[in-house]
Structures are given as structure tokens and as C-alpha cells.
Amino acid sequence: MKASIELRDKREARLRQQLKDTPMRPLPLFQLTGWTHFVDEEVEPPALAAGSSPAEDRKTDEQAIAYHRHLRMVPTDAMTHMQEMVVEAVHANSGRRDGLMDHVIDGPAGTGKTCLLRAIGRTAQREIEAAMGGRRQNTIPVVHITPADPEPRVNWLWEIGSYLGLNPEPKSLMEVLEMRRHQDVTLPVNYVLETAQTRLLLIDDINRASPQHLANVLPYFDYLRDKLGISIVFCGTGASHRLHQARILAGELTRVSEENRVRLEQAGRPAEPVSPSPTALLPVTWLHPLPLDTEDDETFRRVLASFEADLSLYRLEENALSKHAVTLHQRTGGYFKALTYVISTAAVLAIRSGSENITEKEIAAATAQLGP
């Protein structure tokens, strides 16, 4: 036991050093230490003294550059609605052990699904901990995983166990190459999830798993939901369709259809006797490229205004991004991921060039780095 604790402490120390050296490295977010750091992280903009000019070393100011590489997720209507819905579901489910529904984030690649999933998890954990009067030792409100090799059920359990710190560190490259031979960690995972009062399970990139593979693991997720009261959010392109097909393959479409009928009746809508569709069976939040057309000329501009408010540049002109809305939309297609990259890169280029402003020049240079 002492050796296991020492290995765990060494692992956490290594992760903390990685987070310090490379705070945006994605891997630690799928492990408890890294996720906790993400929840606690407060990214403050570099201070700009009023009426002053940038110092000589501003072009190499790592704090300013790192900040603009790490712009926060600005809200859209769909993202705000999803956050509120899931957090409310987590609170409602805290004292209930049956009848819970999965939640799904779906849409084309690059529309901000992963960003939204993590924002939901962070908001939920902060609210849960606030309701408890602060963070408590041995509680794990949120688990955040992604399927590495989703074929057998044991590998899903291994991902959850890795997040919880239950799996031992590999002692050699041979052990790393023999991941499929690891023991089933179902019992310790279930024990920790229950005793640590886990309330929310986030599963990203569900599109890596085929419907056949999901069908094998869905009964276990049902156990977590129905017996432990854990809310589950699936995220990925085509997630709703894959889960629908998996339910059919798992032979549980009857139960899901009944849940859907009850949900419709509670919402005051008659449950028509028609074949259920993937979108009807699950609460799905669809993320699409942000529009900029005659039907919706406001959403994209509001997002740009939110990004502008986060920028910390000495000579940033008023409406620096909004005035280039058409150009930015043409060059990013309204895809949230591409838009974030272009704005972030343009801001870094503005610091390094000394212009301290985002113009057509910086936007052109940033979009050129997206490739053809």
C-alpha cells in the first residue's frame, strides 16, 4: 500500500510540473490532477496601464503571449443553454436514482463541442463544490474521459480508472504495449465513484467508438446513471446517431422509447405513435458553424464582440474584430475552432510585430497559417 501511495504521489508531482511547464497540454485534462487544475484555473489578462505604451520587452512578453493563446470560451446561445440545462440536471439528479436521461453534444467537427463539454464540467464542479461549502477531501464531482481504444468494455473502465488514479504506472515499455491484458478494474472504479460522490461523467470524442462497441458498454453506463445517480454527457460528431444505433443493438429501444414518451407528456406534448428518431430519443444540443447572413446577422458579431472584450492589446481599435466580421466569416466558415485560432494567432502576431492591434494584415497572416 505504501509503495502504491508513493507511486501515485510521484505521478501527481510529475503532472503538476507538466501543467506548470505547458499549461494547455491536453493530456492532463483526462486525469484528476489536471482536471482539478483546469477547474481552479483563473486566466487573468495582462494589465495595461492607461495611456502608456508597450515596454521594450513586450514583443517577447511570455505572459501576454500565453494569455492570448488561451482565450476563454466566449458564450453563444446554444452553449449557454446547454450549460444551464446540464448543470440543472446534475442538481436535480442529486437525490434521484432512476429515470435519468443522457445528454448529447453533436455537430460538425470544429464547432466548439469539446470546448463546451469542458466548460459544462468546470461550471458543474464549481457549483457542486460551492453547495458543499468548498472542496472536500476524497470527493470527485466530475470525471472527464475520452475513449482511447473503445472496443472491449474493460478499456472504458480503464479510462475511468486512470482518471481516478486507480491504475498503476507501467513499469516498462512492454506493459504499455500490452494494455489489453490489464485486469478488470470494475469493482474499484464503482467503489470510488460511489464513495467520492461523483455526479457527472463527461465522455468526449464518442465518435471514436462504433455503435457495436457502444452497445457493449451502454449497460454499464446505465448502471452508473440509474444506480449511482451520475449524469452522463456524450460529445462528438455524430454522437446522437451512434447512441441511437447502439441502443437498438443493445435491445433496449423499448425502454428508451418509453422514457421519451414520458418526457414528451411531461412537457405537455402528445407522444405520437411514430418510429423514434435519433434526435427524439435524446436531449441533443446541436452546434453548427456560426451564421452571418440575412437571417442572422447578429450571432457572429456578438461572438466577435466577446472576443474583443478579452483581448489585451495596447493599440486595439474599437470594434477591431467586428469591423472585419465578413472577412473573418469567409476565412473561417463560422467554425468556432477556426475562429478562435485565427483571433488568438492574430493577437500573438500583433504583440510580436509591435502593432498591438488586429487589422486585415494580422488576420491575413493568421488565416494563412490555417493552410489551404
The secondary structure of 312-360 as a DSSP string is: --TTPPTTTTGGGHHHHHHHHTT-HHHHHHHHHHHHHHHHHHS--S--H
The pLDDT tens digits for 84-141 are 887 777 777 666 655 456 789 999 999 999 988 998 999 899 989 998 899 998 899 9
Q: In this structure, are residues 322 and 341 in contact, taking their beta carbons and an 8 Å threshold?
A: no
Average pLDDT of the chain to the nearest whole number: 80
The secondary structure of 282-309 as a DSSP string is: S-EEE--PPP-SSS-SSHHHHHHHHHHH
Mean pLDDT of 139-164: 83
Domain 77-286 part of CATH 3.40.50.300? yes
The pLDDT tens digits for 26-55 are 557 888 988 998 898 877 788 887 767 888
Q: Which residue has the cell 414520458?
A: 262
Q: In this structure, are residues 135 and 313 in contact, taking their beta carbons and an 8 Å threshold?
A: no
Is the pTM higher than 0.85? The answer reads no
pLDDT of residue 99: 47
C-alpha cell at 341: 485560432
pLDDT of residue 13: 65
Cα–Cα–Cα angle for 282, 288, 294, nearest 5°? 130
Nearest to 288 by CA among 154, 148, 107, 137: 107
pLDDT of residue 44: 78
| Cα–Cα distance measured from residue 298 to residue 88, given in angstroms and rounded to the nearest whole number | 28
Sort 90 into a burial class: Cβ within 10 Å, 0-12 / 13-18 / 19+.
buried
